[in-house]
Structure 1
């Protein structure tokens, strides 16, 4: 089975420009891989950097160090160095992201929320739900 996502030695910090440029380390040395079809949990206490890791995987946060390799269009792309257009293409075709602060629509199941991007690309609703 292919490994569509490999995270290698990723680090991220934030600079507080209004506080004399203080650097706040968020995560360092993050490494893991996920295979197609694998169910994975990113766990840890509040403030450990889970959301920051997910935002780096989606390309919302830049990576200070390391690689995030994703299988996309039968090739391997490093999200840490990919162009903005490539990141957008990966978001459209390969990676989805649902924020923990999602404003849900009443009576719409989580399954339908996750299937919606496939439906928008022309996939049959039932097939999208199955995927």
Structure 2
């Protein structure tokens, strides 16, 4: 598969999750690290998000959990909480996903993720 095709597939996959995010990602990186934006689209979305077996809801649930576990990822968590809502996860499912992580990673990271989610939820209803 050509890189151009991978890029187009990645853009289409990201558009299903968050239509404005693809352009935003590419634009934010174009003057400093355009290859990083391309890698995100080609690899993460073109190669990984389009694999069979898991649907986009499951992929976004895993993604927000992974970002929560890393900590200090509020901008990316914001994008993927929006994406999770866009592909059908509910606010309650997102919060429950975070609560499930408390015994394994602790309250501070979960509280930070809940704070980011609260901001996303408020902004989406405003």
After TM superposition, is the score higher than 0.5?
no
Bigger RCO of structures 1 and 2 (CA < 8 A, at least 6 apart): 2
Quick check: which one's helix share is greater?
2
Quick check: which one's strand share is greater?
1
Considering only CA atoms, is the larger Rg found in Structure 1 or Structure 2? Answer: 1
Q: TM-score, normalised by structure 2?
A: 0.27
